[in-house]
Amino acid sequence: MRNGVFLPYALQQKLYPPGRIFPSWIGVSTLARSSYFGGMSANPFRHHYRVPYADCTLGNHIYYARYLDLLEAARGEFFRNLGVTLLQWQERDTIFPVIEARLRYKAPARYDDVLTTDVWVASAERVRLNFAYRVFNQAGTLVLEAETMHVGAALNEKPKRLPEDLIAALRPFVRVAESVI
């Protein structure tokens, strides 16, 4: 349970079966293993969000660009969960600007829906840090699949290698893919 929302185990198994095939644009163009980097258990970070009226259009669905705000909020909470907030990384002269974003809309999210955003690391190497996301509504319907690509940078906006302690903290959330080609 998190933020008052509980996902029953049976629903979790339905939504996240082992060996699921992910679309290539998500950054996992292959059959995902049920194990993760370093042999850790298979759970993405989950962030819950209740859709406020301000996020919706006249047609009572979330305005398409608001999903980027939702992904940003989930990513911020992901970093907070790791133990170092984005502000603390900034104070250490390390930022992670988005250089590319891909979103695929699957179903509308509406006012007062409780959305669950699953976040995992698609890759973390050298200066690149990529996140993948899936957003579900309270009924378990897939609403959005997305990926954001980031670059590690100093405050002067020059590229900077990802800190080793960050890479170590990210390891449990990296999805390892196995090529099927």
DSSP alpha helices (H): ranges in 9-113?
A: 9-15, 66-82, 86-91
**Could you tell me if residue 44 is inside a domain?**
yes
**Could you tell me if residue 11 is inside a domain?**
no
Amino acid identity of residue 77, one-letter, is E
Rounded percentage of the chain residues whose pLDDT exceeds 70: 73
Please give the helix or strand (H or E) that residue 167 lies within, else none. helix 164-170
Mean of pLDDT values over 2-31: 37
pLDDT band at 176 (very low <50, low <70, confident <90, very high): low
**Could you tell me if residue 2 is inside a domain?**
no
Please give the helix or strand (H or E) that residue 154 lies within, else none. none
Task: Return the residue matching tokens 């292959």.
Answer: 30
Give 137-153 pLDDT, tens digit per residue: 999 999 999 999 999 99
pLDDT at 8 over 80: no
Query: What's the CATH number where 22 sits?
Result: 3.10.129.10
Give 81-100 pLDDT, tens digit per residue: 999 999 999 999 999 999 99
Closest to 45 (Cα-Cα) out of 95, 116, 103: 116
**Could you tell me if residue 3 is inside a domain?**
no
Closest to 135 (Cα-Cα) out of 166, 164, 113, 168: 113
Counted domains in the chain: 1
Exposure string of 12-46, with b = 16+ CB inside 10 Å and e = fewer, is: eeebbeeeeebeeebbbeeebeeebeeeeeeebbb
- Domain containing residue 99: 18-178
pLDDT score recorded for residue 39: 37
**What is the Cβ-side half-sphere exposure of residue 15, based on CA atoms within 13 angstroms?**
23
**Could you tell me if residue 13 is inside a domain?**
no
**Could you tell me if residue 1 is inside a domain?**
no
Compute the distance between CA of residue 90 and CA of residue 158 in angstroms, rounded to an integer. Answer: 14
pLDDT score recorded for residue 175: 84
pLDDT band at 9 (very low <50, low <70, confident <90, very high): very low
**Could you tell me if residue 118 is inside a domain?**
yes
16 token code pair: 């996240």
Give 36-79 pLDDT, tens digit per residue: 333 333 479 999 999 999 999 999 999 999 999 999 999 999 99
**Could you tell me if residue 46 is inside a domain?**
yes
> What single DSSP character describes residue 89?
H
